[in-house]
Amino acid sequence: MKIERLVAMANDIGKYFASRSDNEAVIEGIADHMTKFWDPRMRRQIIAHVSETGGEGLNAHVADAVRRLALPP
């Protein structure tokens, strides 16, 4: 999938969770959604985008959530 599309989708998820009460809840909500509903290939691609470009185009909460996904379980 084109990275521009993944970035747009990830930012849309971030907008949905932005109304949560605190930053941690926003980041956790985004990461949880991506874990549950994104194909592993999509997650690998967005993680690579963050590690290679710093997450160009992603809002800050989304980039933080993707970095969390990159951590070992």
The predicted model scores a pTM of 0.94
- Measuring CA to CA, how many Å separate 37 from each of 11, 21, 33, 56? 15, 23, 6, 22
Tell whether the torsion through CA atoms of 63, 38, 49 and 14 is positive or negative.
negative
Taking phi over 0 as left and psi of -120 to 50 as alpha, with beta for the rest, 58 belongs to beta
pLDDT average, residue stretch 48-69: 97
pLDDT at 72 over 90: no
User: What per-residue confidence (pLDDT) applies to 49?
Assistant: 98
Per residue in 1-57, pLDDT (tens digit) is: 999 999 999 999 999 999 998 999 999 999 999 999 999 999 999 999 999 999 999
Q: Where are the domains of the chain?
A: 3-70
Taking 3-state DSSP, the helix, strand and coil percentages for the chain, each rounded to the nearest 5, stand at: 75, 0, 25
